Amino acid sequence: MKKWLEEVVLETQHIKLIPINENHKADLLNASTDGNLSELWVTSVPTINNIDKYLAKAIEDYKQDKGLAFVVINKKSNSVIGTTRYTNATPEHRRLEIGYTCYSKSFQKTHVNSECKLLLLTHAFEILKAIAVEFRTNWYNFPSRNAIARLGAKQDGVLRNHQIMPDGSLRDTVVFSILESEWNTCKNALMYKIEQIHKKYPAIKDNL
């Protein structure tokens, strides 16, 4: 049976998303040291303690057609600056989630996240013909919640005590989604946002 999530390279002028593999281990760990991302308890970040399990899950999910993970490449330096992925995919319902997203601190609050989301959403809706794309985040990850809302995603609800975290705490998960019928409007807004960021912060291009 043909897989729904086939490996693909997605790119803009500045960034490239390429499927993750075990050879990216050192690059992912290096990217997570910029800003001490491993200290963030509200999101999933590859660290020296979990990198093997992190990569194994990404690879196994791909084999089962449940996910497709990427490393984010800064095309100017050809270096890994983060990671993101399709996850919790249900091909029979043409639904998936975008998650496991983190970037080196140097590239946060730039247009990198917006360009990554534009690439992933465009591929999901226009190539995979998804009927809905979900985003999930920790209740306490307020920057992530705000960023998801700015994409045009609508909040569906909160899954209380949704997960038991490694430290034993209980995570409430906020669920957002964008529907197929909403995509054109969201796409136009996202493209406009990227254009305005480039105009307002032209120096960003020196780093990308």
Contact between 134 and 182 under an 8 Å Cβ cutoff? The reply is no
Residue 117 clears pLDDT 80, i.e. is over it: yes
Contacts for 195 with CB less than 8 Å, ≥ 6 apart: none
Domain ranges of the chain: 10-201
- Among 133-142, 182-191, 194-203, the least confident range: 194-203
Contact between 120 and 86 under an 8 Å Cβ cutoff? The reply is yes
Domain boundaries 10-201, corresponding CATH code: 3.40.630.30
Residue 1 clears pLDDT 90, i.e. is over it: no
- Give the pLDDT confidence score for residue 107 in this predicted structure: 86
- Among 118-122, 126-130, 144-148, the least confident range: 144-148
Give the other-Cβ count within 10 Å of 98's Cβ: 24
Q: Which of 100, 98, 87, 97 is nearest to 45 (CA)?
A: 100
At residue 145's C-alpha, the angle toward residues 140 and 150, to 5°, is 165
Residue 207 clears pLDDT 80, i.e. is over it: no
Mean pLDDT of the chain: 89
Query: Which two three-digit tokens encode residue 132?
Result: 């809905």
Query: Which two three-digit tokens encode residue 12?
Result: 């803009």
Query: Which two three-digit tokens encode residue 182?
Result: 């909403």
pLDDT > 90: percent of the chain: 69
Residue 53 clears pLDDT 50, i.e. is over it: yes
Average pLDDT (42-63) is 86
Residue 39 clears pLDDT 80, i.e. is over it: no
At residue 35's C-alpha, the angle toward residues 31 and 38, to 5°, is 75
Distance (Å, rounded) from C-alpha 122 to C-alpha 144?
A: 20
